[in-house]
Amino acid sequence: MSSEPIRPPVVRPRRLRTTAALRRAVAETSLEARQLVLPVFVREGLAEPRPISSMPGVVQHTRDSLKAAAAEAAALGLGGIMLFGIPERKDAVGSGAIDPDGILNVAIADVVAEVGDALPVMADLCLDEFTDHGHCGVLTADGRVDNDATLELYAEMARAQAAAGADLVGPSGMMDGQVAVVRSALDGAGHTDVAVLAYSAKYASAFFGPFREAVDSSLVGDRKTYQQDPANAREGVREVLLDIAEGADIVMVKPALAYLDVVRRVRDAVDVPVAAYNISGEYAMVEAAAAHGWIDRQAAILETLISIRRAGADIVLTYWAAEVAGLL
């Protein structure tokens, strides 16, 4: 072995990592309150906010506590609030979703009255919280999810949400043609300014688990005949392009973390804003590990969100939105 002296490197990427201020100056990606959307749950007939055990820190809201959360979100400058409703009674066709007095529609009106134009108000447009079988659409006699019959209900649901004052509706049921039907239902009712945030590339994911508790889901089985196979990335881009052709204003990839490659492909393929949903199971994993002292909670949250932004998401839906906006 010769003992030649080690030649010092000429190029030193570490120079730009010397201080926190310099690292901040050269950061390629930022996290800002306006990029974060807070998903919230509101439950009919509730007297007190009810904790969701699999999502520590997240609650099912009462109508009043929801208004307070919306006011806080507006004050923090968040990019929006996404509403999910949990009805007292469910039925086979999810009537509560269409009823103007249904929990989701009255909650939209409550929140809009509270925040006005200060915060974009978004609503999940799907039947699964309202059906007694827990599927995102209505069923055929032999128990399959009936795409086209479901579309008619989505059209009515879109009109009800727009009438309640929603700024954006979020069709999330993965029925073929849902964006076109929702767009034309809105336009036909004069709601041409209500935008469509399409859950375009939505995968049949195990990480939705805690959400099932959050909305008291009745689902038995899975959603694999309508949500996408986790094996498929190209197909995610195809779903996104179809939704844009049907009139989607914003497209979404969901879940986020296990699908960062899909987020990147979609960002590179389209010129509309791209959202990604950091879903319940992704939230629960970080909270659970942090509760055990296995990871630094705050650092893990910020790293999670910056990685979703870095992959290409302009907008991130996250249950940490308000907390993180408070840190920024």
Residues that bind ligand PBG (CB under 6 A): 124, 126, 128, 172, 208, 211, 223, 279-280
Residues 165 and 61: their CA atoms lie apart, in Å, by 19
Nearer to ligand PBG (CB atom), residue 172 or residue 228: 172
- Phi and psi (nearest 5°) for 286? -65, -45
Q: How far is CA 19 from the centre of its chain?
A: 35
b (16+ CB within 10 A) / e for 70-96 = bebbbebebbbbbbbbbbeebeebbbb
Write out the two tokens for 15.
């120079």
CB neighbour list of residue 196: distance below 8 Å, 6 or more residues apart: 168, 169, 170, 171, 179, 182, 183, 186, 247, 248, 249, 250
Nearer to ligand PBG (CB atom), residue 66 or residue 279: 279
Host H or E run for residue 205: none
Nearer to ligand PBG (CB atom), residue 7 or residue 155: 155
- Cβ 8 to ligand PBG, closest distance in Å? 50
- Cβ 318 to ligand PBG, closest distance in Å? 9
Q: Could you tell me which of 286, 237, 278 has the C-alpha nearest to residue 257?
A: 278
Q: What is the DSSP string of 46-86?
A: -SS-EE-TTSTT-EEEPHHHHHHHHHHHHHHT-SEEEEEEE
Determine whether 202 is an active site residue: yes
Nearer to ligand PBG (CB atom), residue 57 or residue 188: 57
Q: What is the CA radius of gyration of the chain?
A: 21
- Phi and psi (nearest 5°) for 247? 115, 15
- Cβ 222 to ligand PBG, closest distance in Å? 9
Nearer to ligand PBG (CB atom), residue 51 or residue 190: 51
Host H or E run for residue 9: none
Beta bridge mates, 123: 83, 169
- Cβ 304 to ligand PBG, closest distance in Å? 14
Write out the two tokens for 41.
């749950």
Catalytic-role residue among 67, 90, 202, 224: 202
- Cβ 30 to ligand PBG, closest distance in Å? 24
Nearer to ligand PBG (CB atom), residue 51 or residue 116: 51
CB atoms closer than 10 angstroms to residue 12: 9
- Cβ 22 to ligand PBG, closest distance in Å? 36
Nearer to ligand PBG (CB atom), residue 215 or residue 237: 215
Determine whether 254 is an active site residue: yes
- Cβ 150 to ligand PBG, closest distance in Å? 13
Tell me which residues are annotated as active site.
202, 254
